[in-house]
Structure 1
Amino acid sequence: MGDVIDDGTGADTAATTDTPTDTGTSVRERLDGGEVTAYRRIHEASLRDPEGFWREAARGIDWVTPPTRILDDTRPPFYRWYPDAELNVCFNALDRHVAAGRGEQPALHYDSPVTGAQETITYAGLLARVARFAGALAGLGVEKGDRVVIYMPMVPEAVVAMLACARLGAVHSVVFGGFAPQELAARIEDAAPKVVVSASCGVEPSRVVPYKPMLDEALHRSTHKPESVIVLQREQLRAAVGERDTDWEEMTWDEVDADAEPADCVTVAATDPLYVLYTSGTTGRPKGIYRDSGGYAVALRWSMANIYDVAPGETMFTASDVGWVVGHSYIVYAPLLTGATTVLYEGKPVGTPDAGAFWRVIEQYGAVCLFTAPTAFRAIKKDDSSASKLAGHDLSRFRALFLAGERLDPDTYAWASGALGKPVIDNWWQTETGWPIAANPKGIGLLPIKPGSPTVPVPGYDVTVLDGAGEPVPPGVEGAICIKLPMPPGTLPTLWGDDERYVSSYLSAFPGYYLTGDGGHLDEDGYLYVMGRTDDVLNVAGHRLSTGSLEEALAGHEAVAECAVIGVHDDLKGQVPRALVVLKSGIDAETEGERIRSELVARVRAEVGPVAALHRVDIVAGLPKTRSGKILRKTMREMADGKSPVVPATIEDVAVLDTLAPVLRSSGPS
């Protein structure tokens, strides 16, 4: 199919009239409408004739050698998209837009409230910087297929380094800036980079984080040594470079970049890797997600038009980090592949300086949409429950809020929807898939919204819910959410250097299906409900309950800012639920706590049922999360059960978990 995009006119009217937020019968009455018919036609076509569908979508990309074969299915389960095609992803992200006359259009707005820096870089300017740094990497011996590890904060140079690797056909592996040495060492060990690109420090609202000492320690621990290390010196904390005996050559960004000759684009196969992005593994060893070049470019370009409804020349604000998959896909590659403008934000939703930070950015750069995590909006709601910080900001060009990264509870949906008066669109996906599995496809036409559901499977994804025997379950029955193979372009074709682990981790449970690891159900209208990781399912006296359903009941209480439910061991029932609740600002837990606890227990009993057996509610100051916003339920559950869990390296603030430890290990309410 061709691109389905809005021309950018009438955004205000569309934003108001395209918000079909209904439940129950009113939703079913709308399901024969034009938007639903269009979606169903497109989704059915993508499953009936996937090769024809993705052949048409491939027209959104400029190819060196256009594909004649669309899908190589000769070696299942190792499927490959566009096996005979060639391209360069950096050319598609930069060069072609400059050639088409977009050279003076902003490509990237850098906005750093933690340092006070702001910079706008045009497409022509970004191309010049990327080509020059690619030349610098080439001068250090980086060639097609070599790996480059990037360990940087949210600065333009991080984007430049990523695109410079793509320009050379090298494989980048971005590691979240500030990761602990042992985690960084594990990724260096696995990726075996020729060069590591880092920065002297990262800047947080209340501290400066020295990166170079952590990188030095990681390289000391790793048996693999890169040939070169490049350090971007930041004025907040400069690093010592080349002052100790090392096995690698150390130099600053300015040193390698100053005299470099700009490099041209290197042609790669569509099936060649663009990047490796590591995600947590159940064994503690990180899994390297292999992302191919051609399929990823096609899928992201298609998604920008059909899911996010962002056209060339418009601005997308994704508040994430380039260390995560959302940052890879929707800060860097998708907007630039589209010819849109992206925002690189080095700050927080609250505290830099306040809960109005996002509104200021949206207004300043004219963003048509914001993409962030539900956690960010829970933080905003906690600090500014009346949304008073919205006042005075001109959001007339703003059309939609997209949320992903964890389950969007109905209460947060209702608050954000009410505050903004614009569509609030949940979308669900994973590092492994690289782009949404389920979403409300705004570019095709918004479907009726059912709070608690990311709406429907995205075209290209054949989503089903299976029971333990691998049989599809009826509508409304929970099971394992799976995707029938082959998955669409852009999703992982395997793990980096480990086909066997790819199969055992994702494909062995149900042959012919990719196991997402999430549980949930499809309703009678085909809407998907993702209730949490399958290991977040409670077994209370033989009754299986998802933490998501209990959290949904808790979050509906007017005093609750955010919450988490964990299942703790019980000799009689096997497991019983335990709730941890953060109250909204201004509510006194000392005087109101007992009443709120009682009301929360009653809410769960009324909305989930007595079988839930929730009796313990702890009111806490904060919940431990990863840097991407996921609540560490498994870690808390293990602590509550008296175990000594391995705390994930991705934790945002270990002090929060330390504060919670006595509460989790105690037997009485707090």
Structure 2
Amino acid sequence: MGSSSSHDFDALHERSLRDSEGFWGEAASRVDWFSPWTRVLDDTRAPFSRWFPGATLNTCHNAVDRHVHAGRGDQPAIIHDSPVTGSVRVISYDELLGLTSRLAGALRALGVAKGDRVLIYMPMVPEAIAAMLACARLGAIHSVVFGGFAAPELATRINDAAPRVIVSASCGMEPSRVVRYKPMLDAAIEQSAHKPERCVILQREMERAALLPGRDIDWDDATSWAGPADPVPVLATDPLYILYTSGTTGRPKGVVRDNGGHAVALLWTMDHFYGARPGEVFWSASDIGWVVGHSYIVYAPLLQGCTTIVFEGKPVGTPDAGTFWRVVSQHRVPLLFTAPTALRAIKREDPEGKHIGRYDLSHFRALFLAGERADPDTVRWAAARLNVPVVDHWWQTETGWAIAGNPLATHLFPVKPGSATRAMPGYDLRVLGAGLKEVPRGQQGAIYAKLPLPPGALATLWKAEDECRRSYFNACEGHYRTGDAGFIDEDGYVHVMSRTDDVINVAGHRLSTGEMEGILAEHPDVAECAVVGMADPLKGQVPLGFLVLKAGVTRPPDTIVAEVVRMVRDRIGPVADFKRAVVVDRLPKTRSGKVLRGTMQKIADREDYNVPATIDDASALTEIAEVLEASLPDAGPEGAVLQRAGVPTKEL
């Protein structure tokens, strides 16, 4: 744990802004480069920054080969802990090198070359990490899609990334069922205009998949006859991966991450933020489908030479609310990174923390939280029962690592529950109000970061540079628009309170309410609709739908609600958690026709609200309030039966 003073951190942060090239040039010494850069930062194409142009490296070499070459091949690289299958598997760096280089050789034999895309649609198994690293080894660009996404969502990503090859598995595992991946993959390819040349399928013993002759190839067959591939040098500015995040238009945005800046930034965070030492076990209880999994299950721990845990289970129910503490104890985990949602689920099942006392956690140093705002009650609960620092930090798919946090390894600041603490080195944060003018400390507004963004942040959006400019950089020249709102207090602590657009945060997963509205609008009985994010004590936010039915519709509202819930589930997947909708006579709008979603959200959250001066018919807000008052009794985190006032509906 860091012992330096706050003045040391202040000096570190100040230097990162004043002398960014010197600061990050020194940090880059932790990376193995094949050839040096011409300069540290090229910002001639502002707002897009290019870090370490001219330099060459290979991210897989840095994450795997160099540790083997240093004589640490026997050290565990991956611990696969799978309570849903009742198994634990340990893979050394030597074994990971063999697994990765053979798969890279197989992909090369299937035609994959530098710059090609490979889409990965897999469960939480070590082979998924090997697939990511194998792409990096060849200089190919991987795009990982979370296994819980339904076929239409997967199809949009196939179309956008246009992968030459897809790597998938026969199934994933849930606590009570086997999830068959192959039928969803087949349906997605059928729906997609782009067709991959080949699909490599990992056959799991729980569910073997039927392979399509000529397109599909068994993982074991592909890797048995392919020779191992050596790392391919790539430019620091070449793409490492594409990771899709929800956009406000409903079209997913492919965040592009580079190789060089990404490696430099992640290694810096392991040294200076998390304090994870080479050889230690690091556990990020996330999924590789999300940015946390990319950064802190796969790349950062392996770049640092740590042992990373790949967990195939849930915080509760596999088998109980003590599974996290069992893993921490069994594998001697000093540092755990998870989402506040997971802690809330554990707290709900074990409010007294009795499971914690069943395990030896004497080696446990800190709990890190990110993914959505860590509510103060959960932070206090965890800190009191674990007796270690609880470190909240704020970051995004676009940034790849923390924008703000409490730097455990450098200087641990006093915790203010509900705040992500201080801006990280490389981030010059501003809170802007009306007219994009900076507001005084303590006053809320939209949070922006002054350019240039530090290494590791998005390079651009895949095939959408103009959209990237519009989404992030055009609103305020010389600044990155985070899309989050909040304030910075007198002590420089950053408080992130909400999103500024219609992307809501459901259990750490950013989802577009606009996309959900598009699906609801396709129902034949729905004339108008809106979706807002409603506060939820377990998941942070959950979507709440409002439906205006077409004239003459006589079918029961509960039947229609059930149908739209199923539509969203089929199109987006269970991850959307869309289970709640009400039927209303009309939506509240401004005179220009804009739906007052922000006001509707305040009503749903039982917050005070003002009737906007521009409203067309104030009685529409009154109806919304009456419907929700009847539909949302105080029922706790499980949610209540939602109903239209006077029209009961069954819980969904």
Using the size of structure 1 for normalisation, the TM-score is 0.79
Does the alignment pair 1:184 with 2:154?
yes
1:117-143 per-position Cα deviation (integer Å, ceiling 9, x unaligned): 210001111011101110010110110
Q: 1:329 aligns with which of 289, 292, 295?
A: 295
Q: Amino acid of the residue matched to residue 56 of structure 1?
A: E
Alignment-derived partner of residue 458 in structure 2: 492
1:617-645 per-position Cα deviation (integer Å, ceiling 9, x unaligned): xxxxxx7xxxxx5623xx31656999989
Contact kept in structure 1, 2:338 and 2:369, CA below 8 Å:
yes
Alignment-derived partner of residue 171 in structure 2: 201
Q: CA separation in 2, counterparts of 1:521 and 1:160?
A: 41
Does the alignment pair 1:512 with 2:478?
yes
Residue 376 of structure 1 and its aligned partner are, at CA, apart by 0.2
Alignment-derived partner of residue 213 in structure 1: 183
Gaps in structure 1 of 5+ consecutive residues = 1-5, 7-13, 19-33, 538-545, 549-574, 583-622, 624-628
Q: CA separation in 2, counterparts of 1:211 and 1:64?
A: 39
1:301-380 correspondence to structure 2 within 5 Å: 301-380=267-346
Contact kept in structure 1, 2:148 and 2:575, CA below 8 Å:
no
Over 3 Å counting, the alpha-carbon distance change for 1:429 and 1:653 in structure 2 is closer
Alignment-derived partner of residue 448 in structure 1: 414
1:21-420 correspondence to structure 2 within 5 Å: 34-242=4-212, 249-420=215-386
Q: 2:579 aligns with which of 624, 640, 658?
A: 658
SS in 2 for 1:435: coil
Q: CA separation in 1, counterparts of 2:180 and 2:540?
A: 25
SS in 2 for 1:509: coil
Over 3 Å counting, the alpha-carbon distance change for 1:630 and 1:211 in structure 2 is farther
Q: CA separation in 1, counterparts of 2:196 and 2:540?
A: 32
How many corresponding residue pairs?
553
Over 3 Å counting, the alpha-carbon distance change for 1:437 and 1:581 in structure 2 is closer
Percent identity (aligned): 57
Q: CA separation in 1, counterparts of 2:158 and 2:580?
A: 32
Q: CA separation in 2, counterparts of 1:308 and 1:650?
A: 34
Q: CA separation in 1, counterparts of 2:407 and 2:368?
A: 11
Report the RMSD for the aligned CA atoms in angstroms: 2.5
Q: Amino acid of the residue matched to residue 657 of structure 1?
A: F
Over 3 Å counting, the alpha-carbon distance change for 1:536 and 1:409 in structure 2 is farther
Contact kept in structure 2, 1:155 and 1:346, CA below 8 Å:
yes
Q: Amino acid of the residue matched to residue 499 of structure 1?
A: E
Alignment-derived partner of residue 433 in structure 2: 467
Residue 657 of structure 1 and its aligned partner are, at CA, apart by 3.5
Residue 580 of structure 1 and its aligned partner are, at CA, apart by 6.2
Over 3 Å counting, the alpha-carbon distance change for 1:364 and 1:230 in structure 2 is same
Q: CA separation in 2, counterparts of 1:579 and 1:136?
A: 47
Over 3 Å counting, the alpha-carbon distance change for 1:512 and 1:353 in structure 2 is same
Gaps in structure 2 of 5+ consecutive residues = 507-529, 550-556, 585-603, 605-626, 634-652
Using the size of structure 2 for normalisation, the TM-score is 0.81
SS in 2 for 1:225: coil
Q: CA separation in 2, counterparts of 1:213 and 1:652?
A: 16
Q: CA separation in 2, counterparts of 1:536 and 1:150?
A: 28
Q: 1:425 aligns with which of 391, 395, 400?
A: 391
Q: CA separation in 2, counterparts of 1:660 and 1:351?
A: 27
Residue 115 of structure 1 and its aligned partner are, at CA, apart by 0.8
Q: CA separation in 1, counterparts of 2:383 and 2:411?
A: 18
Alignment-derived partner of residue 640 in structure 2: none
Alignment-derived partner of residue 636 in structure 1: 544
Q: Amino acid of the residue matched to residue 149 of structure 1?
A: L
Q: Amino acid of the residue matched to residue 259 of structure 2?
A: S
Q: Amino acid of the residue matched to residue 358 of structure 1?
A: F
Contact kept in structure 2, 1:532 and 1:547, CA below 8 Å:
no
1:298-354 per-position Cα deviation (integer Å, ceiling 9, x unaligned): 000000111111010111111000000000000000000000110000000000000
Contact kept in structure 2, 1:35 and 1:447, CA below 8 Å:
no
Contact kept in structure 2, 1:133 and 1:257, CA below 8 Å:
yes
SS in 1 for 2:496: strand
1:535-581 per-position Cα deviation (integer Å, ceiling 9, x unaligned): 489xxxxxxxx999xxxxxxxxxxxxxxxxxxxxxxxxxx9x99766
SS in 2 for 1:310: coil
SS in 1 for 2:297: helix
SS in 1 for 2:345: helix
Q: CA separation in 2, counterparts of 1:650 and 1:362?
A: 33
Contact kept in structure 1, 2:238 and 2:259, CA below 8 Å:
yes
SS in 2 for 1:73: strand
